[in-house]
Amino acid sequence: SQQGEEDPQALSIQEGENATMNCSYKTSINNLQWYRQNSGRGLVHLILIRSNEREKHSGRLRVTLDTSKKSSSLLITASRAADTASYFCAYDRDDKIIFGKGTRLHILP
Amino acid sequence: DSGVTQTPKHLITATGQRVTLRCSPRSGDLSVYWYQQSLDQGLQFLIQYYNGEERAKGNILERFSAQQFPDLHSELNLSSLELGDSALYFCASSSGGGKGKLFFGSGTQLSVL
């Protein structure tokens, strides 16, 4: 398959807790991106990390990249109800941007 | 609002028919990507155009074709439709080709009955 793999497929946590999602891919990359999709809507870009970076922060988001293991993680701290969505990693390969199948995150009140 | 416009938002048609989905990229963006999203397959890359030329092709069926016009809008043509083609089709645009941040449209929900 050309897709990346996110883990877990689904995650439910209490509001205020941290959520961690993982992504694995199969080829060398130039960068890796994370996107959010609210139910049935278009994807929204969250953060991009380049292959020569190991960690990047944006607000409550923290992304790590381990190119030796071909994996990335997305940490959302102090989760809120509005964070309920699907999260996808995406990586570039041969002018394609390939998406994983996503992690469905549900924040419980 | 991402600045990417897709029409129509919903499309209901019958098996064997042909439909055209349209995408207008963000102003200034030269690249257009098409993706198919279904429940069991996630987001599948179909094809990418850059400034009117096909740049990369993914798992696009032979019954599907696309093009990008001189004004940079793009159309995805789906023919001989089958039940399994029912899905959400997204267009996305970026300023560069194949490496940058994508801006997604709101999608076209295709239902083949």
Residue A2, pLDDT > 80, answer no
- For B56, the closest of A40, A96, A102 (CB atoms) is A96
Each residue of B56-85: pLDDT tens digit?
999 899 999 999 999 999 999 999 999 999
Torsion angles phi and psi, residue B57, rounded to 5: -125, 140
What SS3 state is found at A81? helix
Residues in chain B: 113
Distance CA A94, CA B91 (A): 19
Transcribe B26-89 into DSSP letters: PTT--EEEEEEEETTTEEEEEEEEETTEEEEE-S--TTEEEEE-TTS-EEEEE-S--GGG-EEE
Per-residue pLDDT tens digits for A24-58: 998 889 899 999 999 878 999 999 999 999 999 99
CA torsion B55-B48-B1-A22 (nearest 10°) is: -110
Interface test with B, best of A34, A95, A103, A104 (most B CBs within 10 A): A95
* pLDDT higher at B16 or B2: B16
pLDDT at residue B96, as a whole number: 72
